[in-house]
Amino acid sequence: MLDAGLQDRFGNHPHVGEMRGRTFFRGIELVEDRSTKKPFDPGLKLHARIKSEAMAAVPTGGFFRSVPSLDSPDLQHHIVLYSNGGAAGKHGSTLHEFSGLSATTIMLRPESLGTVEVGSANPRDAPLIKSRYLEAEHDRVALMRGVRAVRKIMRQPALEPFVGDAIEPGADVVTDDDMIEYLRNFGNTGFHPTSTCCRGVDETAVVDPRLRLHGFEGLRVVDASVMPSITSGNTNAPTIMIAEKAADMIREDARIS
Ligand SMILES: Cc1cc2nc3c(=O)[nH]c(=O)nc-3n(C[C@H](O)[C@H](O)[C@H](O)COP(=O)(O)OP(=O)(O)OC[C@H]3O[C@@H](n4cnc5c(N)ncnc54)[C@H](O)[C@@H]3O)c2cc1C
């Protein structure tokens, strides 16, 4: 794939290799039972009711609008019944030894565009990936609003008996500047990169509507990279749908030719 022809194509198409990814923020709340002053372990209490293998990794979540006037939600929240740091978390990236929960925010429609470029003519060389998370102001503001919404949820009276102090971001993260600095240092990827080989008919498209690589015979791209823009939710199911549709198109084209 990295022969001279395709490298030219990468160079000629400004949108080739553009990547839409998600910035992910994992807030951590210390959880304690205020009646006993002992750490509360919601995971263990749940295990008492249901078998541990029946517990989902992410038992609850929801979609929110960063601005009420938006037509549809642009933020996704999850609550995970254990406490662990993100890849760059202040408290490490593994499961914490203290009881807690992690309340996360994912910004769904990022405007920041990353790039994936061919680094050399050797197909064994790694591509050059620049994610450029939080480059667009829109993304910084939306994610900041999401984190603030999570803080508000965690301070609701119904959770008061269980939820103690927030660990990340802590009480020292107050102003917009503090928050953005925090997100830059401790935000993480949402693992939903898409759109490096956009499907379409204009000069920026890499594959045509039937997912055939423009300018090449007998080569299609079938994966999350063909999405012209990132979906407003998780990417796995849409990728499976793309694959099923592609299988139908490949069979149809084989019958015609
Ligand atoms: C940690 C993590 C958690 C995620 N969680 C979720 C989630 O909860 N929900 C959700 O909807 N989505 C989730 N996603 C995203 C989802 O997995 C992807 O959107 C989806 O798998 C994309 O499918 P794909 O076919 O484009 O790529 P992939 O699933 O990555 O498939 C690419 C395939 O190509 C193979 N491959 C790579 N290089 C070569 C090579 N040189 N030769 C041959 N084969 C090769 C790989 O082994 C792999 O099987 C998660 C992703 C990650 C990384």
Which amino acid makes up residue 252? Answer: E
Pocket test for ligand 1, best of 191, 194, 225, 242 (most atoms within 8 A of CB): 191
* CA of residue 72 relative to chain centroid, distance: 17
CA 236 to ligand 1 centroid distance, Å: 8
Pocket lining: 87 vs ligand 1, CB cutoff 6 Å = no
Q: In 3D, which of 202, 206, 201, 230 has the Cα closest to residue 219?
A: 206
Q: In 3D, which of 233, 215, 216, 111 has the Cα closest to residue 224?
A: 233
* pLDDT of res. 46: 39
In whole angstroms, what is the distance from residue 144 CA to residue 75 CA?
11
* CA of residue 245 relative to chain centroid, distance: 24
Pocket test for ligand 1, best of 223, 225, 226 (most atoms within 8 A of CB): 223
CA 230 to ligand 1 centroid distance, Å: 15
Pocket lining: 234 vs ligand 1, CB cutoff 6 Å = yes
Pick the atom of ligand 1 nearest to 193's CA: 19
Cis peptide preceding 59, ω within 30 of 0: no
Pocket test for ligand 1, best of 211, 226, 234, 245 (most atoms within 8 A of CB): 234
**What digits encode the pLDDT tens for the residues 180-217?**
988 888 787 788 889 999 999 988 899 999 999 998 89
Q: What is the pTM of this model?
A: 0.80
* pLDDT of res. 177: 94
Pocket lining: 109 vs ligand 1, CB cutoff 6 Å = no
Strand 114-117, strand 128-130: pairing: antiparallel
The token duo for 44 is 């263990």
> Catalytic residue at 78?
no
Q: In 3D, which of 193, 1, 38 has the Cα closest to residue 106?
A: 193
**What digits encode the pLDDT tens for the residues 228-251?**
988 988 899 999 999 999 999 999
Query: H/E/C letters for each residue in 199-242?
Result: ECCCCCCCECCCCEECCCCCCECCCHHHCCCCCCCCCHHHHHHH
Which amino acid makes up residue 40? Answer: F
Pocket lining: 189 vs ligand 1, CB cutoff 6 Å = no
Give the residue, by CA position, lying nearest to ligand 1 atom 17: 236
Domains and CATH numbers, the chain: 4-18+193-256 (no CATH), 21-189 (3.30.560.10)
* pLDDT of res. 247: 97
* pLDDT of res. 52: 46
Which amino acid makes up residue 38? Answer: K
Digits of tens for pLDDT over the chain (257 positions)? 322 223 232 222 222 334 444 444 445 444 444 444 444 444 444 333 344 455 677 788 899 999 999 999 999 888 887 776 655 555 456 677 777 788 888 888 888 888 888 889 999 999 998 888 889 999 999 999 998 988 888 889 998 887 888 877 888 899 999 999 888 887 877 888 899 999 999 888 999 999 999 988 999 999 999 999 889 888 999 999 999 999 999 999 998 87
